[in-house]
Amino acid sequence: MSVTAITRPPLPLSAEITRQLRRRRTVGILIVLTVLPLVLLLAFWLGSDGSNSGERGFVDLAQESGANLVIFTLFASTSFLLIVIVALFAGDTVPSEASWASLRYLLAAPIRRERLLRQKLVVAALSSAVAFLFLPVWTLIVGGIAYGWGPYVGPTGIQIGWPEFLWRLLIIVGYLLLEMSVVGAFAFMLGVLTDAPLAAVGGAVLLMILCAILDSITALGKIRDGLPGHYAYAWRDALAPTINYSDMITGALWSIGYAIIAVWFAFWYFLRKDITS
């Protein structure tokens, strides 16, 4: 008799990862991320090539090199696509089990409730991290083949060579993961509160849309600094001649703070919730 088979804890991380990889939403996200850079190439190819004598932004410089295409893709994805991806991974994981009427059977395995939530939260975080890494890497490959492997050229004319650009791109991706943690935590919390995956995912997305609307009201003053998503584009400071970390640190601290509160509440509520599905 195998001792490992007896002592192996229920719901190992590898099993949960395998379950998530087989989900249609995971396949759908991978398809979207794979197609996005190709769609952008097609859009630029079909669009006019008119020159702009004024200050050039990320979209105007997107065809300068593969590095520029990566930055434009992240710039265009920050306000919605990345939010939806994190919300899908984190908000769908618990209510999907309830909607399939399999949640109570998982807990009867027996699996401790805190372990169930921890495993699903870890896999959601890992899935988001893989998606956030896949998008720039794949875009870099596509953009490099289409536009060349030249240095990144910023709107002010700054050029960042490859070794340095890769390091700064890693900083950008890391910051976006921290910044979007509030989205994942809120979606995860809603997923514990409801058995409807759409409500959990949609609720997190709507929260960020509402915060973006409030953030546009200048009369709120300093209150806007504490809104989730206010520092969503602070990663642009990583592309300055000298990196300024102040806004990125502030944004990350706000997001992590909100995330800790939301995740704590999700665990507190789930440990006391009556599981009927």
pLDDT at 240 over 70: yes
Range 63-90 average pLDDT: 96
Q: What is the largest CA-CA distance in the chain?
A: 76
- Domains of the chain, by residue range, sit at 9-47+54-270
pLDDT band of 5, cuts 50, 70, 90: very low
* For the chain, percent of residues with pLDDT exceeding 70: 87
The four Cα atoms 204, 175, 117, 12 give a dihedral, to 10 degrees, of 140
DSSP string across 248-276 = HHHHHHHHHHHHHHHHHHHHHHHTT----
Residue 33: its pLDDT value, please? Answer: 97
pLDDT over 80 (residue 236): yes
Is the model more confident about 272 or about 252?
252
